[in-house]
């Protein structure tokens, strides 16, 4: 059984699927970090040098094994020649009220 088959099998379990889906934003961030660095044609070492840090810190960041500050993320983006922007989207939960929907 290969990784994709194992993943698909695991995701048939509702608890595993829920936990996996909850990590979607983290996966998207990691993908974006890797994409920025690859598009810039930089190695982890080069990004680390531009940020004034160690390659191991960049590796941890790109693996999702750290809890980076906004400053770290913006510095990473700048080192890769990008600007970071934050986009907020409403969650699709019946328990949440969207801004402006509550009547005063």
Provide the residue-wise pLDDT of the chain in tens; the chain has 104 residues. Answer: 888 899 899 999 999 989 888 888 889 999 999 999 999 999 999 999 999 999 999 999 999 999 999 999 999 999 999 999 988 888 776 565 555 555 44
For tokens 């160690």, what's the residue?
54
pTM over 0.85: no
Determine the pLDDT at residue 90. Answer: 87
Torsion of CA 70, 73, 79, 82, to 10 degrees: -90
In a 3-state reduction of DSSP, which class is residue 34? helix
Instruction: Give the chain's domains with CATH numbers.
Output: 3-79 (1.10.260.40)
Determine the pLDDT at residue 96. Answer: 55
């Amino acid at each position: 059984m290969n990784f994709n088959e194992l993943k698909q099998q695991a995701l048939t379990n509702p608890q595993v699927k829920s936990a996996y889906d909850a990590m979607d934003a983290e996966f998207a961030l990691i993908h974006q970090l890797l994409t920025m660095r690859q598009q810039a044609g930089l190695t982890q070492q080069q990004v680390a040098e531009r940020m004034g840090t160690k390659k191991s810190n960049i590796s941890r960041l790109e693996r999702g094994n750290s809890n980076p500050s906004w400053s770290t993320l913006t510095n990473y983006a700048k080192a890769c020649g990008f600007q970071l922007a934050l986009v907020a989207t409403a969650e699709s939960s019946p328990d949440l009220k969207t801004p402006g929907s509550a009547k005063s």
